[in-house]
Amino acid sequence: MKIVVCIKQVPDAKDVRLDPVTNTLARDGVESIMNPFDRHALEEAVRIKEEHGGEVVALSMGPPQAEAVLREAITCGADRGVLVSDRGFAGADTWATSYTLAKAVRTLGEFDMILCGKQAIDGDTAQVGPGLATQLKVPFATCVQKIRSLQEGRVDLERMMDDGYDVVRLPIPCLLTVVKDINEPRTPSLKGKMKAKKAEIRVLSAVDIGAEAECIGLAGSPTRVVKVFSPPPRGDRTVFTGSAEQQVDQLIEQLRKYI
Amino acid sequence: MIKETAREITEKKVIPMRAELDEKNQFPTEILRDMAKADLFGIFVPEEYGGFGGGCFDIVLALEEMARGCVGVATSYAANALGIFPVLISGSNELKEKYLPDIATGEKWAAFGLTESNAGSDASGIQTTAVLDGDEWVLNGTKQWITNGGEAQIYTIIAMTDPSKGPRGATMFVVEDGDPGFSYGKKEDKMGIRASATRELIMKDCRIPKDRMIGRRGTGFITVMKTLDISRPGIASLGLGLGQAALDEAVTYAKQRVQFGKPIISFQAIQHMLADMAIQVEAARALIYAAAKHIDNNPKSMSKASSMCKVFATDMAMKVTTDAVQVLGGYGYMKEYPVEKMMRDAKILQIYEGTNQIQRNVIGQELNKEYS
């Protein structure tokens, strides 16, 4: 199995501010960490490698300092790290990022699986995973909470839903985005730390991955942030249980209160 | 790097679990597996056997961090090192090749079998015997209060091979979990370090292959003494980590607790207690680090330095944890706060791996030799 794990360097959520002019996140002077969901994706990839053999490649798009999260990924079991970095990528939204990552993945060659965190804690869009899968024309599943089995050519998994989970079978290659429940990430090992210190992080530019200038960075990004607000909290929910008839009775009883 | 890794596991895995492990008298199997995955079991194993080739100082650093979380968990880790030291120190290359790689990965754990009901501080009272029968050694006897008993897979056991020769008639062996005639007795219910497993080892016509002998016949005592010389700074370090943890709790509490309209840390009575605690902790740290570095230089004699740091740091841990309970007052006495457990855990440090009275004997004897 060759597994690519997409990792984003994000500002530590303990210390987040918004830029008052652009309404985007102000990243200056804020400590950077590995996106927590990506850490779970990485752990799952390393577990798959330990069971089935293969290679785990950590991939990140970001400024040169994003190299740090790739080294960190190596301490946790990734075999190597690849950084896609170019001034031209600056200002990329999820569309341009998906395009860029897809170009990078193709540059890296064949793969069996791509694992991503379900979303990054800075942008919180959850769009890059599905966007990347669409660009690569591979099937995807989001919010994966468990990989049930992995066999030649297919993977059976559980997707977390609001009430319970869906069981899904996907052909390989495919892309999965994972939730935190999928595993508990390990503590970086001493051998991993030593390896990470010496590791060479391959850096790919826009030219290296053959990206079109008009598709990357701000130029390739249709998104404009108009307004940032906290969504209103969800109302109370009630789950009806029992037979279909009982559930209908309960529903009618609830509705009567409003008549 | 070792310190950082040990600290991360302590903060993420040990501290959230310690009260439950203590209450349930539960062995921390999962935590030890996490430590193994992070390569912490390999730090003292030579590189040719898959470890990092670290020494006493590396172990001391790791144990200090672990003990900040839970001395019970840290003791389980330390007992593994203690258990395999005899093989490292005196074992044949075959024994090293057989056991050390599994220790380095944490695949297998070790335990050290010295104490018996009539042989504690007086190790010469050992009654377990080993008799050569063809190609096998036959062991008979019972070891008592063995840390990691029942949990480890590899046991280093001292037994009398020539009882008439006294201490020179003792030899060390490796006994494996599952060997015929080898079983476990009762698990002890202890005052502190309740996460660690303390159990009897019973050998009843226990037959092991001839090549499981560690070193030459009759060298058991020398191996035990060398093992303890190297391991004692580890126990000292448990005291250091524990004392540091108790100090951290006491200072944090004293800054929050308001009486007479002020945080209690502003009262000189409390400040002086905290200052004395901090002095003791720092002094112990300096002594332990110095002793560990001394030992890693492979000196002719290391007993005095090793015993000194064990006595000082573990007496310090008892005092500092007791004072931490005092600073926290009524809250300190309650299980809701971690300091009462720290105080219970501290007591064993003055007792095991040679009581602090025995350590003072060792120091006295060494002084006597030095000034002769």
Distance from the Cα of A188 to chain B's closest Cα (Å) equals 6
In a domain, A184, yes or no: yes
A50–B contact, CB cutoff 8 A: no
Q: Which CATH architecture has domain B2-109?
A: Orthogonal Bundle (1.10)
Q: Please give the CATH topology (third level) of the domain spanning B221-370.
A: Butyryl-CoA Dehydrogenase, subunit A; domain 3 (1.20.140)
Distance from the Cα of B237 to chain A's closest Cα (Å) equals 21
| Tokens representing residue A20 in the block | 């008052």
What kind and span of H or E run contains B176?
strand B170-176
Q: Are B45 and B53 in contact (CB under 8 A)?
A: yes
Distance from the Cα of B2 to chain A's closest Cα (Å) equals 7
Q: Could you tell me which of A35, A233, A184 has the C-alpha nearest to residue A124?
A: A35
| Tokens representing residue B287 in the block | 């002594």
Per-residue burial over B273-291, b = 16 or more CB atoms within 10 Å of its CB, e = otherwise: bbeebbebbeebbebbbeb
Q: In tens digits, what is the pLDDT along chain B, a chain of 372 residues? A: 899 999 999 999 999 999 999 999 999 999 999 999 999 999 999 999 999 999 999 999 999 999 999 999 999 999 999 999 999 999 999 999 999 999 999 999 999 999 998 887 776 789 999 999 999 999 999 999 999 999 999 999 999 999 898 889 999 999 999 999 999 998 999 999 999 999 999 999 999 999 999 999 999 999 999 999 999 999 999 999 999 999 999 999 999 999 999 999 999 999 999 999 999 999 999 999 999 999 999 998 999 999 999 999 999 999 999 999 999 999 999 999 999 999 999 999 999 999 999 999 999 999 999 998
Q: Which residues on chain B are in Cβ contact (under 8 Å) with A194?
A: 1
Mark yes or no for CB contact B5/A193 under 8 Å. yes
Q: Where are the domains of chain B?
A: 2-109, 111-218, 221-370
What kind and span of H or E run contains B49?
none
A195–B contact, CB cutoff 8 A: no
In a domain, A194, yes or no: yes
- How many Å apart are CA A58 and CA A49, to the nearest integer? 13
Q: What does pTM read for this prediction?
A: 0.82
A184–B contact, CB cutoff 8 A: no
A190–B contact, CB cutoff 8 A: yes
- Please state the three-class secondary structure of B213-277 as a single string: EECCCCCHHHHHHHHHHHHHHHHHHHHHHHHHHHHHHHHHHHHHCEECCEEHHHCHHHHHHHHHH
Structurally, how many domains does chain A consist of?
A: 1
**pLDDT, tens digit, for every residue of A126-179?**
999 999 999 999 999 999 999 999 988 899 999 999 889 999 999 999 999 999
CATH code for position A84: 3.40.50.620
**pLDDT, tens digit, for every residue of B118-158?**
887 776 789 999 999 999 999 999 999 999 999 999 999 99
Task: Point out the residue among A186, A190, A192 whose CB comes nearest to the CB of B2.
Answer: A190
Mark yes or no for CB contact A191/B39 under 8 Å. yes
First to last CA, chain B: 43
Q: Which residues on chain B are in Cβ contact (under 8 Å) with A187?
A: 5, 8-9, 12-13, 34, 37-38
In a domain, A248, yes or no: no
Q: CB-based contacts of A80: which residues, under 8 Å, 6+ apart?
A: A55, A57, A58, A74, A199, A201, A202
Q: Is A153 left (phi over 0), alpha (psi -120 to 50) or beta?
A: left
In a domain, A221, yes or no: yes
In a domain, A200, yes or no: yes
Residues facing residue A178 across a β-bridge: A117, A144
Question: Which of B39, B52, B58 is the best residue to mutate to test the A interface, defined by the most A CB atoms within 10 Å of its own CB?
Answer: B39
| Tokens representing residue B106 in the block | 């944490």
Q: Which CATH architecture has domain B111-218?
A: Beta Barrel (2.40)
Q: Could you tell me which of B73, B107, B100, B67 has the C-alpha nearest to residue B85?
A: B100
In a domain, A204, yes or no: yes
pLDDT(A16) > 70: no
Question: In terms of residue numbers, what domain contains A161?
Answer: 2-230
Q: CB-based contacts of B216: which residues, under 8 Å, 6+ apart?
A: B171
In a domain, A126, yes or no: yes
Q: How far is CA B306 from the centre of its chain?
A: 13
B42–A contact, CB cutoff 8 A: yes
Task: At B143, give phi and psi (nearest 5°).
Answer: -100, 145
B1–A contact, CB cutoff 8 A: yes
Q: How many CB atoms lie within 10 A of CB A244?
A: 8
Distance from the Cα of A53 to chain B's closest Cα (Å) equals 17
- How many Å apart are CA B11 and CA B7, to the nearest integer? 6
Q: Which residues on chain B are in Cβ contact (under 8 Å) with A188?
A: 5, 8, 38
A189–B contact, CB cutoff 8 A: yes
Q: Which residues on chain A are in Cβ contact (under 8 Å) with B2?
A: 190
Task: Point out the residue among B1, B37, B40 whose CB comes nearest to the CB of A186.
Answer: B37
In a domain, A216, yes or no: yes
Q: Which residues of B are catalytic?
A: 353
Task: Point out the residue among B13, B34, B38 whose CB comes nearest to the CB of A190.
Answer: B38
Residues facing residue A150 across a β-bridge: A155
- How many Å apart are CA A187 and CA A183, to the nearest integer? 13
